[in-house]
Amino acid sequence: MIKKIFFRVLFCFLSFTNFAQECNNILKGIVIDYHDGSPIYGATVYIESLHKYATSNFEGKFKIEKLCNGEINLTISHISCETKNVKINLEKDTFTELFLEHHIESLKEVSIVSAANVKSKTVQFTVLKGEVIDAFSNQNLGDVLKDIAGISSINTGNAIVKPVINGLHSSRIIVMANGVRLQDQEWGIEHAPNLDINTTEKITVIKGANSLEFGGDAIGGVIITEPSNIILKDSLYGKSILSGQSNGRGFSFHSSLSKSTKKGWYVNAKTTLKKIGDFKSPDYVLSNTGLNSKAFSLQTGLKKFESGFNVYYTFINNEIGILRASHLGNIEDLVNAINSPEPLITNDFSYDINSPKQDVTHQLVKVDYYKRLKKLGKLKVQYDFQNNHRFEYDIRVGNDRNKASLDLNLSSHAIRSSFEFDAKTDQKYKVGFMGAYQNNFANPNTGIKRLIPDYDKYDFGFFTIGNFILNDETTLDLGFRYDFNAINAKKFYSKSRWNERNYDVDFYDLIIEDFNTQWLVNPKFQFHNFSASAGISYQLNDENSVLFNYGLSNRAPNPSELFSDGLHHSAARIELGDLRLQQETSNRVAANYRFKSENTSILVEVFFNHIRNFMYLEPTGTEQTIRGAFPVWAHKKTNANLFGADFSLKQQIGNQFILKNTSSFIRGKDVENDQNLIDIPSAKTINSIGYYHEKWNGFSVILESEFVFRQNLFPDNNFETYIPTTDTNILVDISTTPNSYHLLNFNSDATFKLSEKTNLTVGLTVTNILNINYRENLNRLRFFADDLGRNYTLQLKFKY
């Protein structure tokens, strides 16, 4: 008995001794910033199962003693950092490195813009956010941006609206949609961006060519649209917007639903439907100006700090009516239309969309992946595919009445990669490259000569950008980009047109086959484009700052500028490209002054832009075809100067009133021919007074006054034409600009809490309150009809 007790006591003693030995391990370590490798002070390292913890010192180091062998779970946390869980197997004293991201706020953003661009202080940019964008749910990108100083629009009616930045538009502006550069035949004035504004939560407009990451040909600027933020928690949320408008008797419906998890997985879907009938001026119906639009997008992926991926798909289809009275049978109709105070054709209101019209479908697929590397930076790789299928319908008879006059199918592939070196807090670098292939197929079975030919286009580019914080007051940006563009086309030219333009002398080597009255030619072009940017900002004091920037950019001529040859049916004019066009070279200098205090914000922007080989489209006369006589517009080049100033003011008066002003003017000069440039926006000023009362369900009301001055500086492009019915020559006045005009607009909304997680916002907007008659200089249909009359819009927005 005594022997048994002895052995049991000995066994317990040995077990206790062994246990004591196993629980003498020491865990030492250091908590490091994943971003730049610096030690993190005050981080907590906690072992929940043992209720033991330590706090990192000024060197980021910590120590936890008396730990047993085996696996332990560490929880590392710090203010402004994402909490991290790490497993460690202990068999002896151990030292470990624990990484936290001390700049975790970047996870809370969906910003596609690099630190060396919009986050920089040295570029001219403006940001619009969700609440502002939602108010334009039933409209389009061009409408949203028009109230920004220096931004206007060029229209073909009411549904085709293209943004203009400091006088430049179309191929001179890059539109980025969720990180993808839109490729949707943007070269035509009659081609609006194929973008559903409801997929956008944030819009950034960058003026000038200071965003080399996106392209070196953005002579006018870059428009960046970004989706809604991803909430990193287990959640299900959405939004629905229903809008109805009196002018056009239209409605639009948008709905979105998002699901996310705290582990970073997410999925969201959005859909939009719009239907609008004939719009109306103050005095008459604008026949055949309706819109049918449907859009859908789906996005999913994984978003974590160290790595993640995103898959995105979007579909949009727009059927757009073109004012019936703008489609002319001959030049006599054009003269009569210009001289008539009302459209030559007006019908009763209808939702029908007949010829002339456009039917455009755009699809986009994007896949991207990013990976952060410790103490170095972030790698991003992206592939995207786009298909843009455009039909334009002429007024035709017989068996061809329902056949498109223009059938273009544009397919684009692009791969992009970039690496951002952001480990150092006072300097950042970004390098990247892109490669793209584009194919355009022009259906030959339309029965009409193809305006744009078949072609293959290849692009390659690389860039490097640096952002340097010189001191607490001064920031410097530098950037360089190179792009190579190659285009290989096959096109038929009538021999008479070929000889008329002296191509038989300059481009005889392009001919590959003879088809009786036509040549089949194979134009091949290559362009080497260099771009650079430099900017410096200086913070004078807490309230005042200035910046200066310079941008050099080159833009190769687009397919429309090179190859257009024939009747553009929806525009009712003959367009002629020029194979001799060379790339544009822009040198732009700009300066900003900004004052910002608690109640006052003032921004003054000035710029000067000299563009060598500036390409533009101007009327040159008329031409008789088998379909009648039509005006001829030709692509030409010159050296041009553009300069102007933009002004913005925001003044808070007490807690409830706010005054705003945005004003801008621009001048454009053809220095080669000593005349004014065509299609330069008019000077305008927009003033508003707003009232806000938080206790009244966030009630707000805004009264806005918009005054647009007459554009008195324009070139004389008038021409004479022969009218057979009267046997006379008549001057066709297509240069004289419309008078100035003044519009009053009204907006009001309030938000009601329906439940703990559901809000309803009710908004009312009235545009052109006084129902005045006016014509906008940059509306292509101003020759035929007035702009829109009064319009009431009621909007209901549910957030849940």
- Using H for helix, E for strand and C for coil, what is the string for 34-96? CCCCCECCCCEEEECCCCEEEECCCCCEEEEEEECCEEEEEEEECCCCCCEEEEEEECCCEEE
**DSSP state at residue 263:** T
The pLDDT of residue 629: 63
Q: Rounded to 5 degrees, what are φ and ψ at 343?
A: -60, 145
Q: Rounded to 5 degrees, what are φ and ψ at 448?
A: -125, 145
Instruction: Report d(CA 654, CA 599) in Å as an integer.
Output: 8
Residues in the chain: 800
With contact defined as beta carbons under 8 Å apart, do 689 and 705 qualify? no
Peptide bond into 356 cis (omega under 30): yes
Instruction: Report d(CA 335, CA 340) in Å as an integer.
Output: 9
Q: What is the DSSP string of 668-700?
A: EEETTTTEEPSSPPPPEEEEEEEEEETTTTTEE
The pLDDT of residue 102: 61
With contact defined as beta carbons under 8 Å apart, do 33 and 425 qualify? no
**Cα angle: 365, vertex 366, 367; to 5 degrees:** 135
Beta pairing class for 221-226 and 173-177 = parallel
Instruction: Report d(CA 454, CA 440) in Å as an integer.
Output: 5
The pLDDT of residue 116: 32
Please state, in angstroms and as integers, the Cα–Cα distance from residue 36 to each residue in 326, 425, 431, 470, following that order. Answer: 61, 8, 18, 18
CA 450 to chain centre: 30
Fill in the amino acid letter for 130. Answer: G
The pLDDT of residue 365: 97
Please state, in angstroms and as integers, the Cα–Cα distance from residue 587 to each residue in 7, 88, 110, 308, 605, following that order. Answer: 95, 58, 32, 39, 17
Mean per-residue pLDDT pooled into runs of 10, the chain (800 residues): 48 44 81 80 85 85 88 83 82 85 50 39 82 86 86 83 90 92 84 88 85 90 88 89 96 95 92 96 95 96 91 96 83 79 92 92 96 90 97 83 89 96 84 96 86 94 92 91 96 91 91 92 95 94 94 94 79 84 95 94 96 92 69 91 96 93 95 93 96 92 96 89 81 89 96 92 96 93 92 95
Residues 6+ apart with CB under 8 A from 36: 375, 422, 423, 424, 425
Instruction: Report d(CA 63, CA 59) in Å as an integer.
Output: 12
The pLDDT of residue 628: 60
CA 558 to chain centre: 19
Fill in the amino acid letter for 534. Answer: A
**DSSP state at residue 15:** H
For the CA atoms of 752, 753, 758, 761, the dihedral, rounded to the nearest 10 degrees, stands at 10
Instruction: Report d(CA 321, CA 319) in Å as an integer.
Output: 7
Structural tokens at position 496 = 């008479």
Residues 6+ apart with CB under 8 A from 499: none
Q: Which residues pair with 347 in a beta bridge?
A: none
The pLDDT of residue 114: 35
Structural tokens at position 415 = 């791969």
Fill in the amino acid letter for 454. Answer: D
The pLDDT of residue 503: 93
Instruction: Report d(CA 243, CA 251) in Å as an integer.
Output: 5
Which stretch of DSSP H or E encloses residue 122? none
Question: Domains of the chain, with CATH numbers?
Answer: 13-102 (2.60.40.10), 106-225 (2.170.130.10), 226-353+365-396+403-799 (2.40.170.20)
Instruction: Report d(CA 479, CA 354) in Å as an integer.
Output: 49
